């Protein structure tokens, strides 16, 4: 009826609809080029893109008015041509977004990613509350505390921390022995000064602890300083490991692991948690803790920083690496961290990166006993640093503790040391 009433042929009506659709597709193309930074279409700046979009809008409106006048079609009938075009455009856009999402994301459904994003927001809020709970210790006092811990005035606190560390370490050793995994303590130097007295105290403590509990101990200090510290770390921007530093760890660890290539733990678990690490499962996220040092973190479905999922029963020797940020590998992609480099190096071994930034022995022991032991590791590496003892300060645990952040209070020894440093 519409075509007969206004003496418009179907061909002209279809032509008009195609013209409108073509214009709208070009608008979408410009819009996507603007937001994706596509340079092939000469879209160089947002201002230029916006001007082009505005120009096409004006041309489209003029063209439609001219065509409508030529065809003597009232404006109100334009909707009959626009509605199917808009519906088709919307469906096309939705389909393209779904295809793009599936190519870029490890999540099967967008709702799963939304759920994890919401959980991450709650986690960030919990961390902020935990940090707010430590505002009674200003940064300058914290720096003094870290220095005083290894001096005479911090002896009482250091002794307390060493006892607490040993208790947690003993629990970890007992659980490791129970599942017949071979345990190695890996010490990585973290001070830029080889003669740092704090480093000497920590090295001696970890070594004596390993001897006392009959655990293998690997100290990387001997030739660590043969190269400039700026090569092994990200200094001057950051003191964490560089890819070169991670490669040096792999070199030393390989020599140790080659001795035990045939070792297998006989312990198997019939049941295990679905999540075995402390990262959100199936992550593919950009971390912007330092905006100038952005990096991507990918986790598997078990919550470890690695690309592939673990399968059971295991088919290779399985090596679990527990540790803090030096194992987790901040400011680097997954494949530059030493556990992941080890995993790529060995075709007959599976190396699991269970490191989490900020963790100390309390977190590492509870992670192992509650979750990580269920990966059925043949070898378990506990990476330690000088700052593991610093991590036992109550304000550090309020910020990083994996179970109860924000719930710790200073011990009497800590309160006395803080009071002395405030004077």
Express each pLDDT in 364-380 by its tens digit.
999 999 999 999 999 99
- At residue 44, the pLDDT reads 42
User: What's the CA dihedral at 92, 94, 100, 104 to 10 degrees?
Assistant: 180
- When divided into structural domains, the chain yields a total of 2
Quote the mean pLDDT of the chain: 82
Which of 73, 104, 135 terminates a domain? The answer is 104
Q: Which residue from 256, 273, 280 is spatially nearest to 371, judged by alpha carbons?
A: 273
**Structural domain includes residue 324:** yes
Task: Tell me, yes or no, whether 246 and 217 share the same domain.
Answer: yes
3-class DSSP string for 307-369 = CCCCCCCCCCEEEEEECCHHHHCCCCCHHHCHHHHHHHHCCCEEEEECCCCCCCHHHHHHHHH
Same domain, 67 and 184: no
Residue numbers of the domain that contains 14: 2-104
Q: What angle do CA 396, 400, 406 make, to 5 degrees?
A: 75
Whether 98 is in a domain gets the answer: yes
CA–CA distance, 395 with 133 (Å, rounded to integer): 8
The verdict on residue 203 lying in a domain is: yes
Q: Are 32 and 39 in contact (CB under 8 A)?
A: no
Which range among 138-147, 172-181, 182-191, 350-359 shows the weakest confidence by mean pLDDT? 138-147
CA angle 189, 191, 195 (to 5 degrees): 95
Is residue 248 situated within a structural domain? yes
Is the Cβ–Cβ distance between 229 and 192 less than 8 Å? yes
Residue 186 phi/psi, 5-degree rounding, is -110, 115
Residues 146 and 6 in one domain: no
DSSP 260: G
Co-location of 132 and 12 in the same domain: no
Q: What is the pLDDT of residue 116?
A: 65
DSSP at 213:
T
Whether the pLDDT of residue 103 is over 80: the answer is no
Do 272 and 312 fall within a single domain?
A: yes
What is the DSSP pairing of strand 295-298 with strand 284-287?
antiparallel
Q: Model confidence at 45, in pLDDT bands (50, 70, 90)?
A: very low
| Torsion sign (Cα): 116, 120, 122, 123 | positive
If 0-12 CB within 10 Å is exposed, 13-18 middle and 19+ buried, where does residue 289 land? exposed
First to last CA, the chain: 94
Structure tokens at 227: 């190269």
Distance between CA atoms of 215 and 209, rounded to whole angstroms?
8
For residue 285, count CB atoms less than 10 angstroms from its CB and return exposed for 0-12, middle for 13-18, buried for 19 or more: middle
**Residue 219 DSSP SS3:** strand
Is residue 170 a part of any domain in this protein?
A: yes
**pLDDT tens per residue across span 50-86:** 555 565 566 566 566 666 666 666 666 665 666 666 6
Average pLDDT over residues 99-124: 64
Mean pLDDT lowest for which of 67-76, 159-168, 361-370, 398-407?
A: 67-76
Last-in-domain residue among 104, 135, 165: 104
Q: Would you say residue 109 lies in a domain?
A: no
36 with 171, same domain? Answer: no
Q: Do 97 and 157 belong together in one domain?
A: no
Residue 114 lies in a domain: no
**Whether residues 270 and 403 fall in one domain:** yes
For the stretch 198-245, pLDDT in tens is: 999 999 999 999 999 999 999 999 899 999 999 999 999 999 999 999
In a domain, 265, yes or no: yes
């Amino acid at each position: 009826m519409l075509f007969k009433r206004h003496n418009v042929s179907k061909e002209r009506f279809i032509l008009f609809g195609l013209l409108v659709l073509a214009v709208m597709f070009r608008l979408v193309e410009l819009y996507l080029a603007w937001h994706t930074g596509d340079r092939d279409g000469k879209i160089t700046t947002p201002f230029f893109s916006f001007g082009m979009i505005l120009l096409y809008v004006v041309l489209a409106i003029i063209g439609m008015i001219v065509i409508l006048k030529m065809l003597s079609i009232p404006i109100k009938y334009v909707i009959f041509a626009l509605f199917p075009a808009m519906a088709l455009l919307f469906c096309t856009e939705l389909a393209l977004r779904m295809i793009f999402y599936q190519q870029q994301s490890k999540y099967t459904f967008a709702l799963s990613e939304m759920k994890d994003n919401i959980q991450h927001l709650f986690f960030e809020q919990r961390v902020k509350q935990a940090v707010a709970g430590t505002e009674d210790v200003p940064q300058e006092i914290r720096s003094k505390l870290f220095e005083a811990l290894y001096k005479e005035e911090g002896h009482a606190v250091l002794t307390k921390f060493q006892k607490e560390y040993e208790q947690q370490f003993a629990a970890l050793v007992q659980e490791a022995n129970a599942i017949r995994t071979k345990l190695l303590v890996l010490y990585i130097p973290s001070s830029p000064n080889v003669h740092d007295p704090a480093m000497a105290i920590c090295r001696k403590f970890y070594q004596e602890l390993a001897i006392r509990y009959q655990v293998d101990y690997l100290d990387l200090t001997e030739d660590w300083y043969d190269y400039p510290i700026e090569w092994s770390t990200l200094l001057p921007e950051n003191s964490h490991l560089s890819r070169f530093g991670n490669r040096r760890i792999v070199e030393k660890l390989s020599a140790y692991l080659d001795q035990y290539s045939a070792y297998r733990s006989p312990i198997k678990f019939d049941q295990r948690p679905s999540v075995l690490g402390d990262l959100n499962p199936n992550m593919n996220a950009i971390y912007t803790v330092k905006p100038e040092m952005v990096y991507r973190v990918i986790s598997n479905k078990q919550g470890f920083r690695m690309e592939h999922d673990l399968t059971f029963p295991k088919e290779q020797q399985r090596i679990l690496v527990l540790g803090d940020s030096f194992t987790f590998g901040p400011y680097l992609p997954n494949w530059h961290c030493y556990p992941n480099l080890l995993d790529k190096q060995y075709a007959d071994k599976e190396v699991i990166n269970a490191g989490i930034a900020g963790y100390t022995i309390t977190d590492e022991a509870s992670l192992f006993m509650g979750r990580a032991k269920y990966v059925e590791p043949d070898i378990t590496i506990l990476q330690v640093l000088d700052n593991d003892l610093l991590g036992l300060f109550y304000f550090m645990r309020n910020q990083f503790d994996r179970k109860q952040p924000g719930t710790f209070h200073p011990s009497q020894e800590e309160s006395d040391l803080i009071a002395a440093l405030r004077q």
